[in-house]
């Protein structure tokens, strides 16, 4: 497979999709885990968040190590781990075993979220890099939708674990396809230790600011995903499984949003201007998304608008990653830093949003969205500063 081709970029992209599916496939199964393994409702937020523990602690250091050892090796190791851990879920007989496997599953995300964007940045040509990173940004909605679909069809049935088997089979197929992963033309080996490379990445203000801006988007985007199935089910008297299916399908609206941002950026639209406009739309759309008292058609329409906006905003931030990395050899370190800060935010997010869901005050959802939008705009690195 030719390095830097759209086919090679697509293969790398699939790694992000399967990793993101690991995060979301537990959401429709919370009731099953409660009835079969004894989980309490107060533990649901923790169950969702546990997978982000490893990225929250190790992602930046792991990214620096990947810059030395190579992204191809890291991706293959992560895929093999994903295969094994999903098989292990089939035989987990206690809540503690399930929680431990969720933590181990987080190492799949550590490897893929650091190595995959670094390999794209290293192999895609300068003319294609921004567009390729915009495409890469859509792995989250596709993966989240895949995870929801893998498990929602089995939720509430005796075969509730079957989604883990399907996920294991997908990882097995990807492990075979990894034979054709492209080789990076960038020499990733270096005399520096991973800790030294991490320190070099952290010393650059712009990657840190970009990571914090991305974390703001995670706070509101993933937060909505953790509460929407329950909120929709309570508002429209349907099952959580049905609501999860609606979220899985509408999640795909993030893809055209991300591609649209890539198209605008390729035509010279300033990224900071585009992000500011998108944040204003996000606040406006949050009101009909959560406000009680209207029918499902309006709520689904608001959800589509919300997700298109989220996809477009994530693409803007992700596409800025190559321009804020001073040294191409530190691509995985910078991606790991972004992944680590996002993972910390992901861990905290259900612990913020689930209590708001229990409280039932929809205006608090909108307040969190507004605060996150302000944070994203304020933290996003301006192009002139990044070039200094």
Rounded to whole angstroms, the Cα distance separating 374 from 109 reads: 28
Nearest CA to 152 out of 235, 238, 216 is that of 238
* Domains, the chain: 6-179+200-387 (1.20.1250.20)
What was the pLDDT predicted at 288? 92
Question: 69-85 burial string, b = 16+ CB within 10 Å, else e?
Answer: ebbbebbbbbbbbbbeb
What was the pLDDT predicted at 190? 46
End-to-end distance of the chain based on CA atoms, in angstroms? 36
What was the pLDDT predicted at 380? 95
CA dist 112 → 23, 107, 171, 336 (Å): 13, 9, 12, 9
Q: Half-sphere exposure (CA, 13 Å, Cβ side) for 167? A: 38
For the whole prediction, is pTM greater than 0.75? yes
CB atoms within 10 A of CB 277: 15
What was the pLDDT predicted at 3? 81
What was the pLDDT predicted at 181? 92
Output phi, psi for 137, to 5 deg. -60, -20
What was the pLDDT predicted at 201? 52
What was the pLDDT predicted at 328? 55
pLDDT in tens, the chain (388 residues): 788 899 999 999 999 999 999 988 998 898 899 999 999 887 887 888 888 889 888 887 888 788 778 889 999 999 999 999 999 999 999 999 999 999 999 999 999 998 999 899 888 877 788 788 888 988 887 898 899 889 988 989 999 999 999 999 999 999 999 999 987 664 444 445 554 455 555 556 888 899 999 999 999 988 888 888 888 888 888 887 788 888 878 888 888 999 999 889 888 899 999 999 999 999 999 999 989 888 899 999 999 999 999 999 999 998 888 887 766 556 677 788 888 888 888 888 888 888 888 777 889 999 999 999 999 999 999 864 444 3
What was the pLDDT predicted at 338? 84
Indicate the Cα dihedral angle 252, 257, 262, 265, nearest 10°: -170
Angle between helices 6-24 and 126-136 (to 10 degrees): 20
Q: Decide if 244 contacts 362 (C-beta within 8 A).
A: no
Looking at residue 28, the DSSP 8-state letter turns out to be G
């Amino acid at each position: 497979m030719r390095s830097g081709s759209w086919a090679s970029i697509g293969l790398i992209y699939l790694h992000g999709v399967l990793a993101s599916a690991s995060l979301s496939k537990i959401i429709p199964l919370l009731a099953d885990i409660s009835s079969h393994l004894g989980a309490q409702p107060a533990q649901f937020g923790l169950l969702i968040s546990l997978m982000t523990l490893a990225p929250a602690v190790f992602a930046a250091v792991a990214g620096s190590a990947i810059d030395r050892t190579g992204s191809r090796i890291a991706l293959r190791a992560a895929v093999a781990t994903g295969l094994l851990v999903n098989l292990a879920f089939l035989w987990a007989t206690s809540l503690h075993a399930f929680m431990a496997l969720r933590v181990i599953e987080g190492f799949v995300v550590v490897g893929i979220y650091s190595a995959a964007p670094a390999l794209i940045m290293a192999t895609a040509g300068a003319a294609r890099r921004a567009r390729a990173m915009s495409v890469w940004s859509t792995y989250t909605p596709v993966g989240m939708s895949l995870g929801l679909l893998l498990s929602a069809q089995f939720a509430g049935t005796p075969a509730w674990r079957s989604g883990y088997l399907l996920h294991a089979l997908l990882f097995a197929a990807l492990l075979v396809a990894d034979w054709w992963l492209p080789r990076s033309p960038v020499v990733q080996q270096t005399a520096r230790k991973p800790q030294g490379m991490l320190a070099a990445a952290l010393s650059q203000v712009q990657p840190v600011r970009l990571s914090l801006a991305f974390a703001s988007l995670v706070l509101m985007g993933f937060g909505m995903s953790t509460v929407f199935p329950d909120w929709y089910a309570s508002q429209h008297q349907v099952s959580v499984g049905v609501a999860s299916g609606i979220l899985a399908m509408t999640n795909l609206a993030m893809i055209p949003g991300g591609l649209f941002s890539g198209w605008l950026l390729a035509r010279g639209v300033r990224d900071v201007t585009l992000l500011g406009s998108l944040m204003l739309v996000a606040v406006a759309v949050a009101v009909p998304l959560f406000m009680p008292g209207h029918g499902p058609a309006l709520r689904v329409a608001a959800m589509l608008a919300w997700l298109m906006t989220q996809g477009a905003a994530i693409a803007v931030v992700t596409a800025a990653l190559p321009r804020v990395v001073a040294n191409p050899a530190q691509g995985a370190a910078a991606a790991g830093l972004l992944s680590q800060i996002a993972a910390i935010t992901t861990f905290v997010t259900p612990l913020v949003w689930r209590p708001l869901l229990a409280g039932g005050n929809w205006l608090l959802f909108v307040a969190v969205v507004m605060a996150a939008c302000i944070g994203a705009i304020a933290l996003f690195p301006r192009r002139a500063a990044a070039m200094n």
